Amino acid sequence: MQLIFDATEFRTEFPSDLVVYRTLWSAYKHWTTVKFLGSIYPTPGGFCAKTADPTGFGGSAGDVPCTLASPIMGLLHDRMASLADKGFTLHVQFAKKGHYLLIPMYAYNKQKAFTAEDADLSHAIGHLRIYIEEAFRRVREFKIFRKQVKMSQLDLIGKTYSVCALLTNYQTLLKKDEADPEITIAERLWGF
C-alpha cells in the first residue's frame, strides 16, 4: 500500500463578497471553509506525504475534483494501492495510472447485507482511516488552525498547512497498538 488520503476542512471568516462566500460554503460543515487534501504513508509513524503544491480548495469543492487537481495524482506508483474514504470514487482515474484505490463498500438499494469478505475489507479500511484523521488532528493543534482562517490569510494558508503537516512528521508515532506497538499500518491491513 502506498498512501492513505482524505480531505479536511478549516473554518474561515464569512467573506463579504457573495461569489467568494459561495465558493467557500461547505454544505457538509454548514460554514465557510477551506479544504485541503492530505496523505500519509502507511509506516509506523504515518508520515505526511509532501505534495508539490499545497492547494487549498473552497468548501464547496468535492473530493473528486480536489483529488484530480492536486499533486497527489503525481505521487502514485504503478502496481500499488492507496486507501481513501467513500467520497473518493476515482477508480477509473487511478486505474489509468496502474494504481488501485481501496474505499469502504457501498450498500446498494436491494442489498440487505454485505458478504463476510466485504464486511471485513470495509472494517479494515475504516479502521486504518483513523491514522489520517489523527494526522489531521495534529495539524489542527497548531495555533494558526485553532481559530477561523482570516480572509487576509487565504493566499498563504496552503503553504502554512503544508509546513504544519510536514512538522508533524517529527512528532511521535500516530497510534500505538497496545497489544503490539511495533505493528505497522500495512501489517494491520494485509495481516503479514
Tens of pLDDT, residues 85-110: 888 888 898 899 889 888 887 766 66
| Residue showing cell 494504481 | 99
**Amino acid of residue 25:** W
98: left (phi over 0), alpha (psi -120 to 50) or beta: left
Q: What is residue 134's predicted lDDT score, i.e. its pLDDT?
A: 86
User: 148 or 53: whose pLDDT is higher?
Assistant: 148
- How far apart CA 183 and CA 176 sit, in angstroms, is 8
* Contact in structure between 131 and 151 (CB atoms under 8 Å): no
Which pLDDT tens digit goes with each residue over 16-57?
A: 999 999 999 998 889 999 999 888 887 766 777 766 457 889
Q: What is residue 104's predicted lDDT score, i.e. its pLDDT?
A: 81
Percentage with pLDDT > 70 across the chain: 83
CA–CA distances in Å: residue 150 to residues 33, 38, 137: 11, 21, 20
Q: What is the pTM of this model?
A: 0.79
